[in-house]
A and B are shown apart, each in its own frame.
Chain A
């Protein structure tokens, strides 16, 4: 099966989309960009292929009447157990790397004790924590290995170090030294083995749950036997020049966002994308071709980072800003578009006794006013209007945007897709497909 891949290397996260030759999205993958775009591209692509494989499994399962009504349940079990396999595999890598890093004068004479403690930490992580983390009812805040392994390592490491009489610092040092190495090493590509092992676990979990687990074998095999061939890759986003691709495999994110928005909502004529460091206003035609665009220049005020800064100033989490702002009863006017000055206005307003939610509402409005200025310079808003990027997930930002659009352009259909973070990668994968299929 020929596959077409789009990779969007953003300043914060790297996204990949895998598409088939008909333009159907098979899989999506996301990873943190780190400072290593090569690895970020590899990891996000691998993740997208894993997701694509799950799509193929879903297609096969849906054809089997005996399990067709339990597909969601089976797939979620499969995904979870596949992640568990990956986690255990990476733990093994991390353990080896940590042990190999126990060297140097600082640890002279203590090597054996440190290695002993590390071995115990990893034994517990593998044998006790993996099951807890990936139990059917467990909630995981993140699927990034660093987040999962890190928090558990800290807790268990401290206990083990205390019991073994080894300074916890030493264990932490090994972890810090090794995690980036491990993260930057792509997980082994032997996907099918992990899927089969995960499937065995699913069978175990579901046995006796009124399901013919024997019927799962054939569709899984059929899906795993499909040879997914990476036919063409297109890269986009800020890190695109770092990709080891020839030039014709690289597209500007403006074009990719335009096309991606068109694929999600074919009637789109205006796209607003607010990402980590830039805000783009894009006008597209009926085929998704960009006819005009504007971006923020010289200054990143009013982008995702602005909210990050405000969250830090208010000692809140980024995702908490929107919900708090939604509680506002009025909107405090924030004049400055400068991030740093907005911080000053914020403190000033707090000192004057204004409520945090009202000030936050004003800050969200300030961002959107800036976005509206960029949009108007790109040619205004034409129905339909699609809003993408990380900030599209912020309900207070969306509320202000809706209001401003209505005030300035009247009734316009506003599209916001929950997967809008993949818009650029989606456009890139379609460019990859067209490069081959429509060449």
Chain B
């Protein structure tokens, strides 16, 4: 069942706006031959959209292409194509979906072929696979490639040295490469203007994410959350469109709170909020709607998630700062969730459990993503120990449909929700 053919998905104005924004960017990408615009490919964590805009270039994100293909149920065939071409079954399925997409003519969701990138910008923010992925793309496109080395927060903090190192690379390697490829001279004041827009939109994004502290939560911060982070994490951070979008979303959520409504789902307003969960790990995209339905049918709402922080931990205080344009880009890259170490991740999840009064933690472990999955069971145990709340572990994949077993996931989730119930009634009996 694809989103396009399914009966009447309930949509709010902000969703329509976001859809138009995404479609607009694909149209821009697929018409660069006519427009003469230059294309840069980059990743969500460490996406320097404001900087890209300073050079009038169009931002292409292979990860979100893979997600689009996953949600449109075409990633499975692409992955098999990549496997035929020699990529192992265990490799990140975003990579294989991208490789397979290229093999099929690199067709964008609008049906037109994607352009070859004029430049590859690799912000290395903790995911080793990104590096290998862009190596493959460089080999394919033979275009200028720049790597922005982001030191990992192995000790759980960002030092001045780390920050200076990133800024130095921006000045000496990244910006000169952009100037060379685009032919546009870097203008730091232009960057400041975009960063102002970013900060404005970020304020509203944080407000939206934190609205989940209400009871009932007016949003689902995982399944709905991936839509709320959409413009911020992709080709729109720093644009007036994004400012407008987040204004719109905030107003919609304010209205939901006034009306005491729960989150909106593809089947309308969620009725009763029975379970409040924190979720760690990316969602499954190939069965996204079915996966979500397993939650809202049971009255489970996700009140906070780590995945919605892969493109920045705005809710922990970070804002793009127009007064320190390059320093703020460095802070942004260094602070992405993917660049956090295990104790930081545990602390963040624990904080979410407490701040959002969650009933439990759910880990969706991704079969082909070692970067996310390594250490997740240990994280789970630690959070169980610290909060005394029940946790559960399910396993799916990003965009490989072969690794989503609906019956098994359903069985585990139902068991988990009943376990939460049982713990709750056990606790209330003990308290009585």
Contact = CB atoms under 8 A, between A and B. Distances in A.
B352 to A, nearest CB: 20
B284 to A, nearest CB: 13
Nearest to A257: B415
A252 B411 contact: yes
Interface string A290-308: 1111110110000000000
B405 A298 contact: yes
Nearest to A282: B415
A252 B415 contact: yes
B414 interface: yes
A23 B347 CA distance: 44
Interface in B112-167: none
- Residue among A285, A287, A289, A294 with the highest chain B CB neighbour number at 10 A: A289
Interface in B340-354: none
Interface residues of B, number: 22
Contact of B384 (A289, A290, A292): A292
Interface string A231-246: 0000000100000000
A379 B381 contact: yes
Nearest to B393: A294
B27 interface: no
B408 A255 contact: no
A87 B122 CA distance: 75
A199 interface: no
B412 A295 contact: yes
B255 interface: no
A293 B412 CA distance: 9
A295 B411 contact: yes
Contacts of B422: 255, 289-290
B419 A298 contact: no
A293 B405 contact: no
Interface string B368-404: 0000000001000100100000111111000000010
Given A287-B426, A289-B426, A292-B384, A298 B403 contact: yes
A298 B395 contact: yes
B11 interface: no
Contacts of A297: 394-395, 405, 408
B418 A295 contact: no
A189 B415 CA distance: 34
A254 B405 contact: no
Contacts of B393: 294, 377
A312 to B, nearest CB: 25
A291 B390 contact: yes
A290 B421 CA distance: 11
Contacts of B405: 297-298
B251 interface: no
B411 A290 contact: no
Given A252-B414, A254-B419, A292 B391 contact: yes
B415 A254 contact: yes
Nearest to A287: B426
A356 interface: no
A292 B415 contact: no
A289 B426 CA distance: 8
Given A254-B419, A287-B426, A298-B403, A292 B390 contact: yes
A295 B405 CA distance: 13
Interface in A187-216: none
A251 interface: yes
A199 to B, nearest CB: 44
A285 B423 CA distance: 10
Contacts of B426: 285, 287, 289
A344 B405 CA distance: 26
Contacts of A253: 415
A377 B411 contact: no
Contacts of A293: 392, 415, 419
Contacts of A285: 426
A254 B419 CA distance: 9
A298 B408 contact: yes
Nearest to A378: B393
Contacts of A298: 367, 395, 403, 405, 408
Contacts of B377: 377
Given A292-B390, A377-B377, A252 B408 contact: no
Contacts of A287: 426
A189 to B, nearest CB: 32
Contacts of A294: 393
Given A289-B426, A295-B411, A252 B418 contact: yes
A285 B408 CA distance: 24
Nearest to A241: B410
A285 B390 CA distance: 12
A80 to B, nearest CB: 39
B381 to A, nearest CB: 7
Contacts of A255: 415, 418-419, 422
Contact of A290 (B367, B414, B419): B419
A433 to B, nearest CB: 15
A103 to B, nearest CB: 40
A295 B381 contact: no
A341 B384 CA distance: 37
Contacts of A289: 419, 422-423, 426
* A287, A292, A294, A377: most-surrounded residue (chain B CB, <10 A): A292
Contacts of B395: 297-298
Interface string A321-335: 000000000000000
A254 B421 CA distance: 13
Contacts of B384: 292
Interface string B276-317: 000000000000000000000000000000000000000000
17 contacts: A238-B411, A251-B418, A252-B418, A254-B419, A255-B418, A255-B422, A287-B426, A290-B419, A290-B422, A291-B390, A291-B419, A292-B384, A293-B392, A295-B411, A297-B394, A298-B403, A298-B405
Interface of B: 367, 377, 381, 384, 390-395, 403, 405, 408, 411-412, 414-415, 418-419, 422-423, 426
Given A287-B426, A293-B419, 9 more contacts: A252-B411, A252-B414, A253-B415, A254-B419, A255-B415, A289-B426, A291-B423, A298-B367, A298-B403
Pairs of residues from A and B, 8 with the lowest C-beta to C-beta distance, nearest first: A252-B415, A254-B415, A290-B419, A289-B422, A252-B414, A252-B418, A289-B426, A297-B395
